[in-house]
Amino acid sequence: MSFEISDDSLETLLDKILEVYDKFSKQYLTHNADAYLNSVLVARALSNALKDIQRMTDLHLNEDQLPDKHKYAGFVSKWIAKERPIQLKDVPAQNHLERRIYQWVNASFAVHVMASFLEHGPIRWEIVNQLEYWFTFREERGETLALVAYCSEQMAQHCQ
């Protein structure tokens, strides 16, 4: 995936995020009907990701060079994790399972968003665990996450 950052970039990315959420929610949120994807937070995450990608492009790429799919994977997943667009309608119960779901659901979703940009997958579970930790407790740079996306894809391609 390599395209110019334009007005339709936001719409293209939004469609991609909605597709990932649809698959993610059917697989992981079946027991929690109170979870929903907040469209305002998704729009803010994608807008911020596109701004970061544009800044990175302006500063680090040649004029004729476009950001690749790994850059999109890194920056979009970073902002999805940061904005936490999966919300709960009610305050979660204070049992262990509900707390865990609420704490990790957006980090797990961000990993799925990252993986959606990659042609070869899945991302190895060891890397998934680290990414979920980073997305929950750390603030990682988009460039670093782009490199992780690239390495994850290379590992998946060579381990098949």
Round to whole Å and give the CA distance between 61 and 2: 13
- Of the CA atoms within 13 Å of residue 22, those in its CB half-sphere come to 6
pTM of the model: 0.89
Read off the pLDDT of residues 28-80 as tens digits, 9 standing for 90 and up.
887 666 789 999 999 999 999 999 999 999 888 788 888 899 999 999 999 99
Read off the pLDDT of residues 24-35 as tens digits, 9 standing for 90 and up.
999 988 766 678
